[in-house]
Amino acid sequence: MNSFAAAEERSRQLSQTILESPRDYRVLTGERPTGLLHLGHFFGSIVERIRLQRAGVEAFLVLADYQVITDRDSMPRVREYVYSAVLDYLAAGMDPDRTTIFTHSSVPALNQLMLPFLSLVTEAELHRNPTVKSELAASGRALSGLLLTYPVHQAADILFCKGNLVPVGKDNLPHVEMTRVIARRFNERYGRVFPEPEALITSTPEVPGLDGRKMSKSYGNAISLGMSADETAQVIRRTPTDSERRISFDPASRPGVSALLSTASLCLGQAPEEVAESIGDAGSGALKKRTTEAVNGFLAGHRERRAELAKDPGFIAKILQQGNDRANQVAEQTLNEVRTAMGTRYE
Ligand code: TRP
């Protein structure tokens, strides 16, 4: 069995044990606030987080603002993206009393863990990380020290609260593996402080963007959760389709048509082929209309709650303040344990 199949198998077992003993787990999840959250985030990670919350698992959610620095284009709007993400989480049903929502840059003790952690990995290991490689290629710039070491920073995100369960998409698996290596090496060298966290591979399907590529704000193919019904209709109208009247699900040769079908399918809870069947040979116009109705219907409640919460920006600031206070308490406690283990406590 290859390591990915093994990780998937382990995730299936984990899903079961989590339901049986939710109190044995502490979840750490994270989001890089590089844009507005969209349907891809909703089906890809938010649904899973709410599910874990309902199961009774305690969670920490980092809005990884220090990771946005490597994506220079987003940095000027990072505050807006952070506030907007909190609105979406709350509107989706995340309970700030059970999930600690916090921002990287507000928790000094978390960031300080990076120093001993950096000593536990080699430069060669960092260069081998596939996500670092693809981010580097996508950036078109020279590799910065921060980008090279960001998996170590992510280890600090996970270990500062002794998170032992990390729900991630496939592409984040190498980071969880590196976190396990760092925890193991730290414990071997200084005595046991950290758990070796496990990845929980998110089984929810990836939502394609409207052009068939991965949904991403930077491709301009995303439906963000906070869009109005009219804006949603507009982006869907702009989706490139074809002139064949008969609607069929065929991602390879009809990317636009199929992406619309996938989107409608997720929002309606029906297979894409079924949606195609129901439209028959009514053409792309009908498909776009159906998709718009499906998305707007699905998001109506979310958008209403979001708009209500957005009326009071002070409220979001308060939620973040509360989350950051709690994250600081937990991080300081862990840093003290680390300093004791390393013999660097002088008071
Ligand atoms: N690196 C993750 C991403 O780009 C975001 C993230 C930051 C994260 N810290 C984390 C994910 C800790 C899981 C755990 O999507």
* Tens-place pLDDT, residues 139-153: 888 999 999 999 999
Q: pLDDT, tens digit, for every residue of 27-59?
A: 999 999 999 999 999 998 999 999 999 999 999
Same structural domain, 287 and 270: yes
| Total count of domains within the chain | 2
The neighbouring-strand residues paired with 31 are 63
pLDDT at 203 exceeding the cut of 80: no
Same structural domain, 18 and 104: yes
Same structural domain, 193 and 255: no
Q: What is the pLDDT of residue 119?
A: 98
Is residue 214, in this structure, part of any structural domain at all? no
Q: What is the pLDDT of residue 153?
A: 97
Same structural domain, 84 and 115: yes
Residue 32 Cα: closest atom of ligand 1? 5
How far does the centroid of ligand 1 lie from the alpha carbon of residue 61, in Å?
9
Is residue 213, in this structure, part of any structural domain at all? no
How far does the centroid of ligand 1 lie from the alpha carbon of residue 117, in Å?
17
Q: Using CA positions, which residue lies closest to atom 12 of ligand 1?
A: 30
Q: pLDDT, tens digit, for every residue of 283-321?
A: 999 999 999 999 999 999 999 999 999 999 899 999 999
| Overall average pLDDT of the 151-168 stretch | 97
Task: Say if ligand 1 is within 6 A of residue 62 CB.
Answer: yes
Is residue 289, in this structure, part of any structural domain at all? yes
Is residue 224, in this structure, part of any structural domain at all? no
Domain range enclosing 291: 229-310
Record the pTM.
0.94
| Overall average pLDDT of the 225-231 stretch | 96
Task: Say if ligand 1 is within 6 A of residue 67 CB.
Answer: yes
Task: Say if ligand 1 is within 6 A of residue 30 CB.
Answer: yes
Same structural domain, 185 and 249: no
Is residue 91, in this structure, part of any structural domain at all? yes
Return the beta strands (E) in 17-136 as ranges: 26-31, 58-63, 99-103
How far does the centroid of ligand 1 lie from the alpha carbon of residue 169, in Å?
10
Q: pLDDT, tens digit, for every residue of 262-277?
A: 999 999 999 999 999 9
Q: How far apart are CA 201 and CA 332, in angstroms?
A: 29
Is residue 222, in this structure, part of any structural domain at all? no
How far does the centroid of ligand 1 lie from the alpha carbon of residue 343, in Å?
30
Same structural domain, 39 and 170: yes
CATH code of the domain in which 155 resides = 3.40.50.620
CATH code of the domain in which 262 resides = 1.10.240.10
Same structural domain, 174 and 305: no
Is residue 72, in this structure, part of any structural domain at all? yes
Same structural domain, 119 and 42: yes
Q: What is the pLDDT of residue 28?
A: 97
Q: How far apart are CA 312 and CA 220, in angstroms?
A: 29
Same structural domain, 26 and 155: yes
Task: Say if ligand 1 is within 6 A of residue 176 CB.
Answer: no
Q: How far apart are CA 67 and CA 304, in angstroms?
A: 30
